Amino acid sequence: MGADWYEACFIICSTNTGFAGAFGGGIEVPLQHSYAMRVSTDYALTRHFRNTQNNVRVSVGIVYRFGYKEPPAAVAREESTPRAVMPVASLGISVSTTAENRGAEIVEVTAGGVAGLAGLHRLDIITSIDGKDVHKPMELAAALSGASGNVKIGYIFRTETGWWIGKETTVVVGK
């Protein structure tokens, strides 16, 4: 886990009767997805006429970042390594494993298939079937085997800005 420098501050003010300066900075350490811990320190010096004040302020807090943007290294994939592709006929898609087994990534959507009609697209990642987590294509196939009727599919997709957003859709299979 790395730390991200988030601020550095340097302020100086001066008048005929006083002087003030502030120096500070801090770091933000990512904890989990959208959460981080922030620690910052400031030093303030003020001088009015002949009175001088030296002050130090330290603050610590938990930060919540709206949305979830994965670090580029976490989603980088070596394209030189071929990935196995598995067809899932009941949905009309082909899927593959993802980095760190985060779900079943859709690599092909059959035109007019169940998944395509439900709004699933290439590169979407299926993460659950009827509330049960899916980490690999084989788990997806096992969750769909014998399923009929309405099936809830949880998936995530990446926006143009790089944020991952979770959605859920319902499809009808086996009828």
Name the pTM for this structure.
0.55
Higher-scoring residue by pLDDT: 9, 150: 150
pLDDT, tens digit (0-9, with 9 covering 90-100), for 49-108? 778 888 888 889 988 877 655 554 444 444 445 678 899 988 999 999 887 778 899 999
Nearest partner of 85 among 99, 103, 97, 77, judged by Cα: 97
pLDDT by residue (tens digit) across 18-54?
Answer: 777 778 888 888 777 678 888 888 888 887 777 888 8
Signed CA dihedral, 159, 162, 168, 171: sign only: positive
Contact 99, 74 (CB under 8 A): yes
In whole angstroms, give the CA distance from residue 101 to residue 107. Answer: 15
What per-residue confidence (pLDDT) applies to 23?
Answer: 81
Reading the block at residue 150, the tokens are 């309405």
Q: Kindly state the average pLDDT of the residues 156-167.
A: 83
What's the pLDDT score for residue 124?
93
Residue 151, pLDDT score: 92
Give the per-residue pLDDT at 15: 62
Instruction: Specify the pLDDT at position 81.
Output: 55
From the CB of residue 85, how many other CB atoms can be counted at a distance below 10 Å?
13
The predicted structure's pLDDT at residue 162:
76
pLDDT at 73: 46
The CA distance from 172 to 149, in Å, is 5
Per-residue pLDDT, 20 = 77
Chain segment 111-128, per-residue pLDDT in tens: 888 999 999 999 999 999
pLDDT at 145 over 90: no
Strand order in the sheet with 51-64: 4-14, 18-32, 35-48, 51-64
